[in-house]
Amino acid sequence: MDEQTKLRLVEIFSKLPAVRRPEGHVHFKQKMYWTAGILILYFVLANIPLFGLSPQSIDLFESYRAFFAGASGTIILLGIGPIVTGSIVLQLLVGAGVLKLDLSQPLDQAVFQGLQKALVILMIVVEGLPQVLAGYIAPDPALASTLGISLGTLSMILFIQIFIGALLILYMDEVVSKWGIGSGVGLFIVAGVSQGIITGLLNWQMVEGLPAGLIPRWIYLLQHDFGEFVANSTLIEVLVTTHLLALISTVAIFLFVVFAESTRIEIPLAHAAVRGARGRFPVKLIYASVLPMILVRALQANIQLFGTVLSSRGINVLGEYVLTPGGGSYPVPGSIMYYLNPIHGPSDWIPSLVVHNETVGQIALRLGVDAFLLVVGGIIFSIFWVETTGMGAKNVAQNIHMSGMQIPGYRRSIGSIERVMRRYIPKVTVLGGATIGVLTLGASMLGTLGGVGGTGLLLTVSIVYRLYEDIASEQMMEMHPMLRQFFGREK
């Protein structure tokens, strides 16, 4: 792609609506106000139902709600799915060298950002329209009759609402990234998972004869012969029925993620001109953060969407799907789509809890495939993420050099700093990607409170930890404005 083509692309992408960047430094309080405002707007949108939606509609992404940050049956049904899918496609194209972009160059960065936004808009159509056309997002016949319009017209009204909701999520994410703290994607995941956990603790709604929430369920069981229930049940049945396994795994995931996030290598730095001015550059074990794991799960979700749509058209080469009591769908055991379907909790792999007539061999193979995808996918997407977000050794070395810092004992040059960074960053990126893949698998196998899924909880804890660090960093830069130059935040 020559420079002339890039300039034409930038000119085209500039016509897409965009959130204006702040012209100067945005103060910490303003960033908090913007972040809180977007969070409130997200919860408002999550409670706006789709007009004309039939109660018989099927939520294809029911198992992925925690990290897609969408709300079933509402205007933000797709959540962050299109944003994540667009990022997957673009990172694969750039990482494979199909699109030759040097993201250290401003022009190439502009092309990358424009392509990403265009791809997200395309993915809104790709993910939303097939669900409408296949009848999973179905129009209400009674409402169509009352309004005197066809079901096809009402279906298009549903799609327009979904499209608008997904666009709002896209621009809300952009507002948080430019004017707030952290990212909108992370903020929406935290909001959805936190709501699910609170509901999982306090929900009094009866499900299969027992309250859904942990606290109400314990109260109910203590009032209704809890001792007899324990005597007549196996250990795993007691742990699952009382939600004790979910509580233990929730606490364990929290502790593991905090430990992993706090594990780091610190490279000493010293200022070349100011004697005594020292610092450290931390290279964390989870260097690429947990966002690459969202990309892996999103890729699996889109594969399932593809298989479900094919199955609805009578094409069952990859697998046939059956409806579940919760209103979702499940691939028939033994099919290709079955083995590519992620593990979501104990009922997917503990033989005594499995309800879909799966053999032990099928369960073991599915578990192995999921482990392979999470670990290998975590490594691949971590590498792509580091290279496309300016976290690679070259970019880090340039930032350190431009800030006036250097590594003690080495010549003050970008090359010497880059050589030191290359000793650590590539290796930690691979190790961190594999580690987060293993953590995600373990979290998914054990399940969590509120049914948010191990992956969702793992992402939430990691995002909150990093959000805490971002807030501390913002406060420090408010007190010491010169630090903004080092972090590249000074406008």
- Position 490 scores a pLDDT of 47
- Position 479 scores a pLDDT of 57
384: three-class secondary structure by DSSP = helix
Q: At a CB cut-off of 8 Å and minimum separation 6, what does 487 contact?
A: 399, 473, 477
What's phi and psi for 269, nearest 5 deg? -130, 150
CA dihedral of 172, 177, 180, 181, whole degrees rounded to 10:
120
* 53 inside domain: yes
Our count of domains for the chain comes to 1
What's phi and psi for 261, nearest 5 deg? -70, -30
User: Tokens in use for 374?
Assistant: 């999470």
Q: Could you tell me which of 375, 404, 430, 323 has the C-alpha nearest to residue 59? A: 323
311: three-class secondary structure by DSSP = helix
CA distance 442 to 434: 13
CA distances from 238 to 69, 95, 227, 355, 451 (A): 31, 47, 11, 17, 17
List the pLDDT tens digit at each of the 491 positions of the chain: 678 888 888 888 888 888 888 887 788 889 999 999 999 999 999 999 999 999 888 887 777 777 788 888 899 999 988 998 888 788 778 766 778 877 777 888 888 889 999 999 999 999 899 889 888 899 999 999 999 999 999 999 999 999 999 999 999 999 999 999 888 888 998 988 888 888 888 888 888 788 888 899 889 888 887 888 788 888 888 888 888 888 888 888 888 888 888 888 888 888 766 666 677 888 888 888 777 888 888 888 888 888 888 888 888 888 888 777 655 678 889 899 999 998 888 888 888 788 788 899 999 999 999 999 999 999 998 988 888 777 888 888 888 888 778 888 888 788 888 898 899 999 999 999 999 899 888 888 888 888 777 778 888 888 888 888 888 777 666 655 555 554 445 44
Q: What is the tens place of the pLDDT at every residue in 325-350? A: 655 678 889 899 999 998 888 888 88
Q: What is the tens place of the pLDDT at every residue in 173-209? A: 999 999 998 888 889 989 888 888 888 888 888 887 8
Q: What is the tens place of the pLDDT at every residue in 104-139? A: 778 888 888 899 999 999 999 998 998 898 888 999
User: Residue 96 belongs to what domain range?
Assistant: 1-10+26-180
User: Tokens in use for 158?
Assistant: 């549903």
74: three-class secondary structure by DSSP = strand
* 123 inside domain: yes
Partners of 331 in the beta sheet?
Answer: 321
* 34 inside domain: yes
Amino acid at 212: A
CA distance 445 to 442: 5
Question: What does the chain come to in residues?
Answer: 491
Is 397 within 8 Å of 417 (Cβ atoms)? yes
What's phi and psi for 72, nearest 5 deg? -60, 130
CA distance 307 to 120: 21
Q: At a CB cut-off of 8 Å and minimum separation 6, what does 251 contact?
A: none
DSSP string, 225-283: -HHHHHHTS-HHHHHHHTTHHHHHHHHHHHHHHHHHHH-EEEEEEEESSSTT-EEEEEE
User: Tokens in use for 185?
Assistant: 């994607």
* 160 inside domain: yes
- Position 487 scores a pLDDT of 47
Task: Say how far residue 274 (Cα) sits from the centre of its chain.
Answer: 42
- Position 170 scores a pLDDT of 94
The DSSP bridge pattern shows strands 210-211 and 329-331 to be: unpaired
- Position 175 scores a pLDDT of 94
DSSP string, 45-71: HTT-BPTTB-TT---TTGGGHHHHT--
453: three-class secondary structure by DSSP = coil
CA distance 487 to 345: 40
* 442 inside domain: no
Is 487 within 8 Å of 390 (Cβ atoms)? no
183: three-class secondary structure by DSSP = coil
97: left (phi over 0), alpha (psi -120 to 50) or beta: left
* 469 inside domain: no
pTM equals 0.80
7: three-class secondary structure by DSSP = helix
* 41 inside domain: yes
182: left (phi over 0), alpha (psi -120 to 50) or beta: left
Half-sphere exposure of 467 (CA within 13 A, CB side): 23
Is 217 within 8 Å of 207 (Cβ atoms)? no
* 467 inside domain: no
CA distance 156 to 3: 40
CA distance 265 to 284: 6
CA distances from 402 to 235, 272, 395, 488 (A): 60, 11, 11, 9
- Position 364 scores a pLDDT of 93
- CATH number at 85 reads 1.10.3370.10
CA distances from 372 to 315, 377, 458 (A): 27, 8, 18
